[in-house]
Amino acid sequence: MNIKIIALGKIKEKFLKDGIDEFLKRLLPYASVEIIELSPIEIKDDHLIDRVLDDEGEKILSNIKPQSYVITLEIQGKMLSSEELAGKIESLTNDGIGEIVFVIGSSFGLSKNVSERANFRLSMSKMTFLHQFARLILVEQIYRAFKIIKGETYHK
């Protein structure tokens, strides 16, 4: 399985980089994981938010293949347990999906075009997280999902 995570912004904090790198290393036996960091566009006028989201959306969509299964992280998405996420990944694998793309937008969210491209909209929580934390949590949950799928210890 190929997994791609497209995220706006770079991880600056060393402890977050270390955590993400650790889970990427742990994922090696299960999946090929690539993180694509795109530069967010600075918004200097709130009236330009939609236009900036559209511009960011074009950059995001240019990194997604037509056949990829896209999961966007959105506030209004569906919340899944770790077991449900594992079931979703396993089902996609069994259906012959070769690549899952997770998309983490900017602090202003995602463009309508990116949201419409999603095959599934995922909400991590009703709480709000820093986008850098969301990336770490996502990578850990993907790792946990593979451990659940394989019936290996770690999950509990």
pLDDT digits (tens, 9 = 90+) for 95-111: 999 999 999 998 888 99
pLDDT (tens digit, 9 = 90+) per residue, 28-64? 999 999 999 998 888 777 778 888 899 999 999 999 9
Residue 155: the pLDDT is 58
Residue 106 belongs to a domain: yes
Examine the pLDDT at 156 and tell me if it is beyond 80: no
Q: Does residue 156 form part of some domain?
A: no
Determine what percent of the chain is predicted with pLDDT higher than 70.
99
Q: How many domains does the chain have?
A: 1
Question: 106-110: which pairs have CB atoms within 8 A and are 24 or more residues apart?
Answer: 106/8, 106/9, 106/40, 106/53, 106/56, 106/131, 107/131, 108/43, 108/49, 108/52, 108/53, 109/53, 109/74, 109/75, 110/53, 110/56, 110/57, 110/60, 110/72, 110/74
**Mean pLDDT, rounded, for 85-93:** 98
Q: Which domain holds residue 47?
A: 2-150
Residue 32 lies in a domain: yes
Does residue 155 lie in a domain region?
no
